[in-house]
Amino acid sequence: MGDSNRADEFIPAALASLGVEADEIELAVIGAAHAMFWPPILELYAFDTSAATPEPRPDLSQPPAAR
């Protein structure tokens, strides 16, 4: 199954499960956004962040405590 087919199924199903309605134009926008965001999101899942010391509540005004 191609990516676009998966998106054709995922988007209406996900919206329906949330109870969110979308018209044709909104669906087109959502489809375009999904095509743009989803591949990098999948890459993000595979991205190795194990070198980072967790910062559960970072103080963004300061450098991290850990280097």
From the list 32, 39, 30, the residue with the least C-alpha distance to 12 is 30
Query: How big is the CA angle at 64 (ends 60 and 67), to the nearest 5 degrees?
Result: 155
**Segment 8 to 67, residues that bind another protein, using CB under 8 A:** 11, 14-15, 18-22, 25-30, 33-34, 36-37, 40-41, 43-45, 47, 49, 51-55, 58-64, 66-67
CB atoms within 10 A of CB 12: 13
- Contact residues: another protein, CB under 8 A: 11, 14-15, 18-22, 25-30, 33-34, 36-37, 40-41, 43-45, 47, 49, 51-55, 58-64, 66-67
